[in-house]
């Protein structure tokens, strides 16, 4: 099918076209051995940190900021099972900290400064960036590495260079920003399920 035909179909039915692109990308992700291996390694790294009494911090901009909050809520609250809360926080939610840091140090430092103040060796920083180029995300990852955090990146096909700052990198098999975000959240839900199941299996029985 030509690009003109695709454009015509998209303009006539943008909702159906978006769902079709999303479905195709999710199917590619489900068959992507590298992506699945990365997701399993990320789940294992998070589980190891939580077992050791460390915490997960999550950062992102725009829609990825909302995803950061969503993922943190699944971990500190619950995903599917009633169980103890696990330590997770999104660094996207404290408006006083965000605005003070941006005002005093520049927007590039809004996450790095929080990582510096809150992060401890052995904690995990999960950075969500569809482009892999956001200066505040890169600064946060650099600071996390200085402190000794485990660094994890979620990005899209155009952001693979983010891997230079990450111990683990998950690359969604698309460069369509909203679809990248959908895959990130779908994979994150799977990781939350793995964390919850594993931690619950290991929890002492009352």
Three-state DSSP at 126 gives strand
Please check if 63 is assigned to a binding site.
yes
Q: Would you say 189 is a known binding-site residue?
A: yes
Contacts of 121 (CB under 8 A, 6+ apart): 147, 148, 149
* Cα–Cα separations (whole angstroms), residue 110 to 32, 134, 163: 34, 12, 21
Task: Consult the annotation and say whether 70 binds a ligand.
Answer: yes
Q: Annotation-wise, does 22 bind a ligand?
A: no
61 is in an annotated binding site: yes
Task: Name the DSSP letter for residue 166.
Answer: -
- Residue 130 assigned to a binding site: yes
- Smallest Cα–Cα separation from 137: which of 115, 170, 117, 122? 115
CA dihedral 101, 162, 91, 88 (to 10 degrees): -150
Greatest extent of the chain over all pairs of C-alpha atoms, in Å: 64
* CA nearest neighbour of 193 among 83, 93, 92, 89: 83
On whether 129 is known to bind a ligand per the annotation, the reply is yes
Q: Is 62 annotated as a binding residue?
A: yes
- Rounded distance between C-alpha atoms, residue 78 and residue 108, angstroms: 32
Is residue 151 marked as binding?
A: no
Annotated binding site for substrate, which residues? 61-63, 74, 103-104, 129-131, 134, 181
Annotated binding site for Zn(2+), which residues? 70, 74, 181, 189
Annotated binding site, which residues? 61-63, 70, 74, 103-104, 129-131, 134, 181, 189
């Amino acid at each position: 099918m030509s690009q003109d035909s695709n454009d015509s179909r998209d303009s006539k039915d943008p909702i159906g076209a978006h769902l079709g692109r999303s479905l195709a990308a999710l199917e590619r992700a489900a068959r992507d051995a590298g992506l699945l291996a990365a997701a399993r390694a990320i789940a294992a790294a998070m589980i190891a940190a939580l077992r050791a009494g460390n915490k997960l911090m999550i950062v992102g901009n725009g829609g990825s900021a909302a995803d950061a909050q969503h993922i943190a809520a699944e971990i500190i609250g619950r995903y599917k099972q009633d169980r103890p809360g696990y330590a997770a926080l999104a660094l996207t939610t404290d408006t006083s900290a965000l605005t003070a840091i941006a005002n005093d140090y520049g927007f590039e430092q809004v996450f790095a400064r929080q990582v510096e103040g809150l992060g401890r060796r052995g904690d995990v920083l999960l950075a969500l960036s569809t482009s892999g180029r956001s200066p505040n995300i890169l600064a946060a990852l650099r600071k996390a590495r200085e402190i000794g955090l485990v660094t994890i990146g979620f990005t899209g096909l155009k952001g693979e260079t983010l891997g230079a700052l990450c111990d683990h990198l998950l690359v969604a098999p698309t460069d369509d920003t909203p679809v990248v975000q959908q895959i990130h959240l779908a994979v994150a839900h799977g990781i939350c399920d793995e964390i919850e199941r594993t931690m619950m299996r290991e929890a002492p029985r009352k």
